[in-house]
Structure 1
Amino acid sequence: MKPNSDAIKKRYDRIAPYFDGMEAVMEGLFFKSWRKRLWDKADGHHILEVGVGTGKNFDYYPKDARITGIDFSEKMLIEARRKRDRKQVNVELDLMDVQSLYFADNSFDTVIASFVFCSVPAPIKGLKELYRVCKPGGQVLLLEHVLSSNTVIAGAMNLLNPLVVTLVGANINRQTVKNVQACPFSSVRVDEHSSDIIKLIEARK
């Protein structure tokens, strides 16, 4: 049985106070450079960050943009609000599930998410919501870890996935590029610097 949103929320609520510490090594070695590359591609005045978490992307926000950040975990948002206030970041934070966004159609110039769709129970439903709230001609930018194309590594990831989901609520075997391609975007491309497992996906509405 696949975990539902409530079960995953509880897991993220549980680890929220420790989340930055849990990922500190990977953040320093790998993720920081990827986050900068992701946010360098953001354009337009009105930007939505989905799955803002504890605010790990705050340092990369464009200075002149109006940014809204959402997350479905209240405890993660508590950490994000503390970081926002400490760093004096101009961002509006709201509790919301990507699978059911409250925003009107065609609201944002750029919709952006980093390492989010590993934990969305119905990823294509969530991606279609991103498409809906993105303006025509706007872009959806995703930084995601995905299932390896190496059959041996992929087998190990599939084997370990139930344990990882139970512990932290994240799937390590998602095929997010294919999921994005299944949505009605006019174009989908993967950044040429992407690795086998980490993909920077650029989709245009």
Structure 2
Amino acid sequence: MKNPNPKQTQFTKNRYNATSVIYNFMEWPVEQLWYKKWRQKLWQNIHGPTVLEIGVGTGKNIPYYLEDVEITGIDLSPGMLKRANKLLPDPAKDHITLREMDAQQMDFSDNHFEEVVATFVFCSVPDPILGLKEALRVTKPGGRLHLLEHMTADQSFLASLMEKLDAPIHYLSGVHIARNTVKNVEKAGWNIEKVQDLTAKGIFKKIEASKPH
């Protein structure tokens, strides 16, 4: 497997460290309107017993973590993790571990987790296919991948506009708005099981996939 591009990875890390202080404020409108309810529904289908969350960020999924599941959360940005750690109640620390780690080059053994979760993450992983291949590697055969993602629109005119805006938005925030994450999941070797449009135009989707046996 190829190595991640260090310059691109450091750029993304710097961007998220810089915005970590105001990140929750920046996302407050969409979090209240959509993300919060989508996260809650997603975690209702997580059973473990071992789960990896890629891109834990400021810890927005932590309120939905299950008490009887061993959860490991990783993030590239120490600034984001600093805020996520503040959300962990002391009893939860027995079954929750948060680590600074690059999703493109994980420090886990093969076939380690039953399930992998990521919410609005693979829009910012520098090499999303590499990250999804790493997620596949550390998942047990038959294990499942659960994603909430935003991506390029299904409608051609809107998709063209998003592609034009992708580079400047990425420079400012570290986020890509014109990726096709469904295709990237397939290219990484996952079996797509279900893709659900969460909004019109197909920009927000829920993706469920499994690792081939």
CA shift for structure 1 position 36: 1.2
Q: Name which of 83, 108, 111 aligns with 1:79.
A: 83
Q: Structure 2 unaligned runs (5+)?
A: 1-6
Instruction: State the match for 2:23 in structure 1.
Output: 19
Instruction: State the match for 1:64 in structure 2.
Output: 68
Name the CA distance, whole Å, in 1 between partners of 2:163 and 2:192: 29
Deviations 1:159-182 (A, max 9, x none): 111121111100000100001111
Higher alpha-carbon deviation: 174-183 or 33-42 = 33-42
Residue type of the alignment partner of 2:41: R
Change over 3 Å in CA distance of 1:165–1:14 after alignment to 2: same
CA shift for structure 1 position 124: 0.5
Instruction: State the match for 2:178 in structure 1.
Output: 173
Q: TM-score, normalised by structure 2?
A: 0.90
Instruction: State the match for 1:189 in structure 2.
Output: 194
Q: Report how many aligned residue pairs link the two structures.
A: 203
Instruction: State the match for 2:146 in structure 1.
Output: 141
Change over 3 Å in CA distance of 1:86–1:46 after alignment to 2: closer
Instruction: State the match for 1:110 in structure 2.
Output: 115
Change over 3 Å in CA distance of 1:4–1:193 after alignment to 2: closer
Q: Does 1:155 align with 2:160?
A: yes
Residue type of the alignment partner of 1:9: K
Instruction: State the match for 2:3 in structure 1.
Output: none
Instruction: State the match for 1:28 in structure 2.
Output: 32
- Is residue 66–residue 91 contact of structure 1 (8 Å, CA) maintained in 2? yes
Name the CA distance, whole Å, in 2 between partners of 1:61 and 1:106: 22
- Is residue 49–residue 68 contact of structure 1 (8 Å, CA) maintained in 2? yes
Deviations 1:87-123 (A, max 9, x none): 9565211010000000000100100000000011111
Q: Does 1:39 align with 2:27?
A: no
Change over 3 Å in CA distance of 1:30–1:101 after alignment to 2: same
Find the residue that maps to 2:57 and give its secondary structure.
Answer: coil
CA shift for structure 1 position 192: 6.0
- Is residue 53–residue 76 contact of structure 1 (8 Å, CA) maintained in 2? yes
CA shift for structure 1 position 66: 0.5
Superposed structure 1 runs of 4+ greater than 6 Å apart: none
Change over 3 Å in CA distance of 1:194–1:184 after alignment to 2: farther
- Is residue 39–residue 61 contact of structure 2 (8 Å, CA) maintained in 1? yes
CA shift for structure 1 position 58: 0.7
Name the CA distance, whole Å, in 2 between partners of 1:27 and 1:87: 26
- Is residue 108–residue 135 contact of structure 1 (8 Å, CA) maintained in 2? yes
Q: TM-score, normalised by structure 1?
A: 0.93
Name the CA distance, whole Å, in 2 between partners of 1:139 and 1:36: 17
Residue type of the alignment partner of 1:145: H
- Is residue 125–residue 131 contact of structure 2 (8 Å, CA) maintained in 1? yes
CA shift for structure 1 position 60: 1.1
Two-structure CA RMSD over aligned residues (Å): 1.7
